[in-house]
Amino acid sequence: MKVIAVVAALVLALLFQTTLAGISFRGGTLVNFVLIAVVYVALSFGAVTGLLAGAAGGLVQDAIAGGVVGIGGLSKTIVGFFVGVVGAHFIVSQPATRFVMFVGGTVVHELCFQSLYNLLEGRAPHFAWGTLFTQAAVNGLIGILAFQIVEGAPGLMQRRETRRATFGRRRF
Amino acid sequence: MLDIRKRTGWIFLIVMVAQVLLVSAQVQTRSGVPVVEAVSFGAFAKVQGVTSSAVRGVRDVWSNYAELQGARDENQSLKQRLAELEIRLQEQRALAARTTRLQELLTLQQTTELPTVAADVIGGNPNAIAGIREITISRGTADGVQPGMAVMAPRGIVGRVIGQPASRASRVQLLIDRDAAAGALTERSRVGGMAVGMDRDPPVGMELVANLQDIKPGDLVVTSGVDGIFPKGYAIGWVETAQRGPGLYLNISVRPAVDFNSLEEVLVILVPPRPALSEAEIKAGPEGRK
């Protein structure tokens, strides 16, 4: 069940990433759905699952996006591992702490990703901090929303079923 | 069953390494060589270098050890060889010194017109008993040696044969013996006197020289020939001090020309002693003695 959930999350994220690739904020800040999925998986299932999901999702994303395959995987593996480790040691069930985890994961991912690319291309590292934090905030918000949807969906369905049953027994 | 969650660190490491290799395989260095190849080659070269250094180090240590052992044996051998050569060198030095002495003796023998015979010092210690200084030489009656004959060394007179010589050995009373004496005169001022052995340093004195005579330190004292034993004109020594004495005569000390402590070869003058000249004969001179 866990594997199915993880694979589903990654596939969904990749679908979103490819189909909604044109969505950007502040002129170029792309939402990284795969990264959101990795953080989500790491928070939900732990470090091992997080790092494996990061590796798999990152590699597929790299392969789809073109360029050097492995840089995104490497960055997302790191994020998945450390988010999983932190999630196992701290209570991260509140939206605020989850938001912090998403923001932190995004920052770490971008730092690793950009650093590796700069390293391979032999350039001095340069970070657009404003864009980075905007992306991190957007990822955090989408991540919290994802958590709310996934965690709230079963209750919502149950309440709807209950309401239907109640309406059926009423006599007007 | 293996629980992979307990191997989180290892899994993380494996996944990371795998992806690093994957990235490296796609990236090339500036020289065009793939990074993974360059890194693996570099790492292998480093391992090879370390291995090679270790092997070389061990080999060097072993070879040094082996060479050290060889050096120790060689050192022992060289030490032994050095000792042998030192002994041989001493022998050669002794031989050279003996040759020099014999050469001097031969020169003396050739220059003197008197019949002589060379002899080795075979015994005796000039310093054995204070005042009594004798040696034994390797010539005796079989060689024509007779009592009272003069004994010389290349540098000067040594003494005279005393006692009855054996056929192959003789006793010689040195000039520094307290009972020895020889007629003497100074070469510069021709002042006559008597050289006698003494128990002091220097061990020879010159007596019977009047206070008014012209004697100076450094004057060469030679035999005068008046004693009938020592031929005239052979060196006795050099005046070291000449001081006015309490009586009529000077106190003169003479440093012997011969080193009596290192006598090894001597020359015996095969001329029997004649009676000492009388006062009248001395005054008459050579013409009067005829």
CA–chain centroid gap for B142, Å, is 35
The CA distance from B232 to B229, in Å, is 9
> If you measure CA to CA, which chain A residue comes closest to B21?
A70
Q: Whole-angstrom Cα distance, residue B118 to residue B110?
A: 12
Using CB atoms, pick whichever of B11, B23, B30 lies closest to residue A71. B23
- Say what the ipTM of the complex is: 0.77
Encode chain B (290 residues) as per-residue pLDDT tens digits. Answer: 445 556 888 888 888 888 888 887 787 766 666 666 666 677 667 787 888 888 888 888 888 888 888 888 889 899 999 998 998 998 898 888 888 888 888 888 788 788 889 999 988 765 555 556 889 999 999 999 999 999 999 889 999 999 899 999 999 999 998 889 999 999 999 999 999 998 888 889 999 999 889 999 999 999 998 888 998 889 999 999 999 888 889 999 999 999 888 888 899 999 888 776 666 665 665 554 44
Please classify residue B228 by burial: count the beta carbons closer than 10 Å to its beta carbon, then call 0-12 exposed, 13-18 middle and 19+ buried: middle
| Residue A165: per-residue pLDDT | 67
Partners of residue B12 in chain A, C-beta under 8 Å? 47, 51, 77, 81
In A, minimum Cα distance to B16 occurs at: A74
- Residue A23 C-beta-side C-alpha neighbours within 13 Å: 11
Residues contacting residue B4 through CB under 8 Å, at least 6 positions apart: A48, B11
The answer to whether the beta carbons of residues B223 and B236 sit under 8 Å apart is: yes
- CA–CA gap between residue B63 and residue B57 (Å, rounded): 10
Q: Which residues in chain A come in under a pLDDT of 70?
A: 21-30, 156, 164-172
CA-CA distance, B132 to A85, in Å (whole number)?
114
**Sequence-ordered strand ranges (E) for B91-174:** 116-123, 134-137, 150-153, 156-162, 170-174
- CB pair distance less than 8 Å for A59 and B19: yes
Q: b/e map of B153-177 (b: 16 or more CB within 10 Å)?
A: bbebbbbbbbeebeeebbbbbbbbb
Contact between residue B139 and residue B168 where contact means Cβ atoms under 8 Å apart? yes
Using beta carbons and an 8 Å cutoff, which residues of A are at the interface with B? 46-48, 51-52, 55, 59, 68-71, 73-74, 77-78, 81, 85, 116, 120, 122
Distances in whole angstroms, Cα of residue A59 to Cα of each of A157, B124, B144, B170: 35, 114, 127, 122
- Using DSSP bridges, classify how beta strands B116-123 and B204-207 pair: parallel, antiparallel or unpaired: unpaired
First to last CA, chain B: 144
CB atoms within 10 A of CB A141: 16
Which of B12, B24, B29 to mutate: most A Cβ within 10 Å?
B12
Per-residue pLDDT, B142: 93
Give Dmax (Cα) for chain A: 77
Task: Pick B19's closest partner by Cβ from A47, A73, A122.
Answer: A73
Nearest to A10 by CA among A33, A44, A43: A33
pTM equals 0.44
